[in-house]
Structure 1
Amino acid sequence: MNNISGNASEGERIVRRKLSDQVLDRLREMIRSGELKAGDTMPSERALMERFGVGRPAVREALQTLHTTGLITITHGERSRVNAIDAGMVLNQHDELARLLLNAVPSNLEHLKEARRMFEIGIVRVAAQSATPEDVAELRDLVALQRQRLDGPPAGFIEVDMQFHVRIARITANPIIHAVSEAMLRWLFEYHVALLHRSGEEEVTLIEHEGIVDQIEAHDAERAVAAMRAHLDRSRGFYEPHH
């Protein structure tokens, strides 16, 4: 005879879940299956209450969780609407966690710099192979704009620096690469103090950016990689955690 006495193991224990969590699972499945598509209005609270056989609090809590995670937008006085989901939106949801991660463990900043270096070296190789004249013209416009920011606040110069690198990522025509590049740069630039604003360094950055564009325009992948590697290695020490 089997002995069924004693405490239940963790895998056997039956856990009663909150109604709002169960409603949330159902709503996510409606979005995942395509029953609710980007741009659609969500069913009314009453319709959801009747469909799932639950009260208003459970429905409202589930809808609020969907809103917090970016799956829907709740606007006062209007029906909730399903959002379009892309890589950028997904990464944006993790900005605060990234900030905590980088500030809590100092070594993670070095890991982020290394990840960015590896990522951008791969990106610039693809950019040099596939850049169009329009891509090159827009990169040169950004270098010119960055030069105009030399006499202004450091934040303005750095903002265009970020736009320059993100624009190179866009040449790949890969929305995930574009979004990841933008997120990494945002975490690096926004959450850390730039030490770029020192005598002569801004001018060196502009010269290096011009050289990177030259190699992209020439479709010389190897020289573009070398130029990007040298640029990132030199600028690697320009970021430190907030204190």
Structure 2
Amino acid sequence: MFTPIKNVKVYEQVVDQIKKMVEIGELKKGDKLPSERELVSELNVSRSSIREALRSLEIIGLIECKRGEGNFIRKNFENNLFEPLHIIFMLEKSTSKDVMEVRQIIETESAALASKNIKNKDISILEDMLLKLKNCNDEKKSIDLDKKFHYKIAEMSNNFILLSIMNACSGLIDLNIKGVRDNIILSSDKKEELVKQHEKIFLALKNKDSSKAYSEMRKHMKFSNDNLLL
């Protein structure tokens, strides 16, 4: 199953072997790894090298450690990019405009994909969100509904990578949506326009009109960007 290791940077080679086993399907989501003692024996390396390898695999999000149970290949990878993207955002001193541009790329495409995959239950969920958004007078709840509306569309895209990126950017997107709405609620006309835009996106999705869903989401992103930069 494993190949003995006798070179420098031993822990990196342990990491590479486990990653390779995942790649070729020997290890699958949810599989339990051998114990540290078993890995030491099979790989012919020190326990410290095994522990360093396991820590590295946990940091990159490939495995998870369950206390008292052992180490497992992760089942859920949706939020694996969350921390790295936040660190990059802070280190690179990215702006709200950067986040808005990323949203435009992701969400226009997710709307187009969602229109092709939308089901009756999805239509009901979005319609309920929209109705609550139209009748909500509590801005904190409105922000939450707005966010859920956008994340639901990404979920409906049925594209795991797209949804993972959206989830990874969630903290940044949440702040972005709040920033947009903080400016918009100062004007009743703009607040009404914001609701209308969500309605148009919903109707395009309901009608399974891919190009319309794309264009309406793009208009919404432009409107949001314009108001974010006020």
**TM-score, normalised to structure 2's length?**
0.78
Counterpart-to-counterpart distance in 2, 1:127 and 1:21: 40
Does the CA contact (< 8 Å) of 1:98 and 1:187 recur in 2?
Answer: no
Distance change >3 Å, CA 66–CA 149, structure 1 → 2: farther
Instruction: Output aligned runs, 1:62-101, within 5 Å.
Output: 62-84=53-75, 86=77, 88=78, 92-101=79-88
Which residue of 1 is the match for residue 152 of structure 2? Answer: 167
Q: Distance in 2 between matches of 1:100 and 1:18?
A: 26
- Alpha carbons of 1:238 and 1:58: their partners in 2 closer, same or farther (altered >3 Å)? farther
Contact 1:99 1:191 in 2 (8 A): no
Counterparts of 1:17 and 1:218, CA distance in 2: 60
Query: Any conservation in 1 of the 2:80–2:168 contact (CA below 8 Å)?
Result: no
Distance 1:234 1:160, change over 3 A: same
Which residue of 191, 213, 216 corresponds with 2:202?
Answer: 213
1:135 corresponds in structure 2 to 122
Q: Distance in 2 between matches of 1:234 and 1:188?
A: 15
Which of these two proteins has the greater Rg computed from alpha carbons? 1
Aligned to 2:164: 179
* Equivalences, count: 219
Higher helix share: 2
What secondary structure does 1:162 align onto? Answer: helix
Residue in 1 aligned with 2:52? Answer: 61
| CA shift in 2, pair 1:77/1:234, >3 Å | same
The Cα RMSD (Å) is 2.9
How far is 1:150 from its partner? Answer: 3.4
Is the Cα contact below 8 Å between 1:169 and 1:178 reproduced in 2? yes
Q: Residues 226 and 43 of structure 1: is their aligned pair in 2 closer, same or farther, counting only changes over 3 Å?
A: closer
2:218 corresponds to which of 207, 211, 229: 229
Deviations 1:43-64 (A, max 9, x none): 1111111111112111111111
Q: Which runs of 5+ in 1 are unaligned?
A: 1-15
- 1:194 paired with 2:179, answer yes
Are the equivalent residues in 1 in contact too, given 2:64–2:74 (CA < 8 A)? yes
Q: Is the 8 A contact 1:208 1:227 kept in 2?
A: yes
Contact 1:23 1:62 in 2 (8 A): yes
Give the Cα separation in 2 of the matches to 1:66 and 1:129: 37
Q: Quick one: structure 1 residues 62 and 136, their matched pair in 2 at CA, closer, same or farther if it must change by over 3 Å?
A: same
**Aligned residue among 138, 142, 148 for 1:157:** 142
With over 3 angstroms needed to count, the CA separation of the structure-2 counterparts of 1:71 and 1:225, relative to structure 1, is: closer
1:32 and 2:23 correspond: yes
5+ residue gaps, structure 2: 1-6
- Name the % identity: 26
- TM-score with structure 1 setting the length: 0.75
